[in-house]
Amino acid sequence: LRLSALAPELARTVVRVTSAGGQIGAYLQVSELDGFTPGGADLVVPGLAPSTRQVIGSLVVPDSQVDGPGAGLLRLLAPEGADAGPGKVEVPVRVSFFGESGPVTLPGAEELVLVAGEVTDVDLGGLPAGAYAVVVDSDVPVLAGARVERVGTPAEAGDSAPVEQAWIAAGARASAELIAVPAGLASDAVLTAVPAAPEASSEGEADVSEGAEGGSAEGAPEDVPEDAEDAEEDAPEDASGEASDELAGVTRGRLTAYDESGAVLVSEEVTIPAGTTMRVPLPEATAAVELIPTLTAGVSNAAEAADGVTAGASLTWGVLVQAQGTDGTLLSVLTSPVHGAAVDEVFVRQSHRLPLE
């Protein structure tokens, strides 16, 4: 089904697919061209249904300028419906970025107002290079997704630079998940401990205009504090130099990489302070990655232990895969699939029966 033929005038698109019968699976194939120059291609997978909190993890961006090439974007939609209330068309949302050094502010994007039924794109230009999770909070259910880009090298002087893109859908909190990875390519696991607070502490945020420190490929599991107490000491600090109470807590999990034969390449315990993102390089022979949330200090029951959560923080993760081509970097962001709700019954349309005589 070619959407560009059905709605050629739409510059920004959000698609919802429903079925009146059995369960279905769907994805979008995105392909762009600037004349004869590639503008990127990707398969966009379904994301979390509309909710008052959307979390997008594994967002790894390069240095960029506002409205500049390679900046990437955050796409938001407040669906039309009863949740917005009669006559209400404006929907305020709060956007928070959690990087490798803690909360980061993207000027102009902290608080936005969406118009119900209209798709809004937020330019990510000016965000320091590094790995992030994006959290979108609202009083009414909204949708969110993100696109990251890489700018390549022109084939000849004067030609446009090719662009590669990868879309990331919003997902649910992590449970025990296994993600398949193309073996032989450079890949990184990107994990974020997302605070439970609806808003990140403004005192603990680093201003982008002041050159907030971006991320690096360092931070392998063996460099992570082993004790929850050590992790809490490394929690994001506010302007006074004291750890923020709102971002207290840590998440823990066991990250395991397997090769194509199923042999374990590396298996390490990771500890992530709330409000921060960790980027862990994986062995080149990795064919699958598993993250199992584990018991965290202060957890007193099995349900919390299964989530690997303390102080309300939750874990989100994915895998960034990159390959160097002749004209630039190809990339993809692999995340755990969003599982649909269980269906107890389906609608069957009545039809005329053929006579048996």
Give tens-digit pLDDT for 200-219.
333 333 333 333 333 333 33
Mean pLDDT of the region 306-311? 46
Per-residue confidence (pLDDT) for residue 6, from 0 to 100: 80
- ∠ CA 42-144-139, rounded to 5°: 175
Per-residue confidence (pLDDT) for residue 230, from 0 to 100: 46
Per-residue confidence (pLDDT) for residue 25, from 0 to 100: 83
Work out the percent of the chain whose per-residue pLDDT is above 90: 47
Domain-by-domain residue ranges, the chain? 3-335
Per-residue confidence (pLDDT) for residue 321, from 0 to 100: 96
Per-residue confidence (pLDDT) for residue 243, from 0 to 100: 37
- The residue with greater pLDDT, 306 or 351, is 351
Question: 225-258: per-residue pLDDT in tens?
Answer: 344 344 444 444 443 333 344 465 788 999 999 9
Q: How many other CB atoms sit within 10 Å of the CB of residue 294?
A: 18
As a whole number of angstroms, the distance between CA 304 and CA 310 comes to 7
Residue 275 has pLDDT above 50, yes or no: yes
- The residue with greater pLDDT, 185 or 303, is 185
Q: Which helix (H) or strand (E) covers residue 99, if one does?
A: strand 90-99
Question: 140-179: per-residue pLDDT in tens?
Answer: 999 999 999 999 999 888 888 999 999 999 988 777 789 9
Question: 215-229: per-residue pLDDT in tens?
Answer: 333 333 344 334 434
Residue 27 has pLDDT above 80, yes or no: yes
Residue 343 confidence class, pLDDT cut points 50, 70, 90: low
Per-residue confidence (pLDDT) for residue 213, from 0 to 100: 35
Per-residue confidence (pLDDT) for residue 23, from 0 to 100: 77
Tokens coding 149: 């880009």
Among 155, 138, 132, smallest CA distance to 59 is for 132
Per-residue confidence (pLDDT) for residue 64, from 0 to 100: 86
Residue 298 has pLDDT above 60, yes or no: no
Residue 354 confidence class, pLDDT cut points 50, 70, 90: low
Tokens coding 309: 């959560």
Question: 78-116: per-residue pLDDT in tens?
Answer: 998 745 555 568 999 999 999 999 999 999 999 999 999
Work out the percent of the chain whose per-residue pLDDT is above 70: 73
Q: What is the DSSP letter of 265?
A: E
Per-residue confidence (pLDDT) for residue 223, from 0 to 100: 41
Per-residue confidence (pLDDT) for residue 330, from 0 to 100: 93
- The residue with greater pLDDT, 309 or 10, is 10
As a whole number of angstroms, the distance between CA 125 and CA 67 comes to 6
The CA distances from residue 324 to 36, 70, 286, 309, in Å, are: 21, 16, 17, 37
Per-residue confidence (pLDDT) for residue 319, from 0 to 100: 96
Among 265, 235, 230, smallest CA distance to 103 is for 235
Per-residue confidence (pLDDT) for residue 26, from 0 to 100: 87
List of residues 6+ apart from 217 with CB closer than 8 A: 188, 279, 281
Residue 301 confidence class, pLDDT cut points 50, 70, 90: very low
Average pLDDT, the chain: 79
Residue 346 has pLDDT above 50, yes or no: yes
Buried b (16+ CB within 10 A) or exposed e, 243-281: bbebbbbbbbbbbbbbeeeeeebbeeebbbbbbbbbbbe
Residue 48 has pLDDT above 50, yes or no: yes
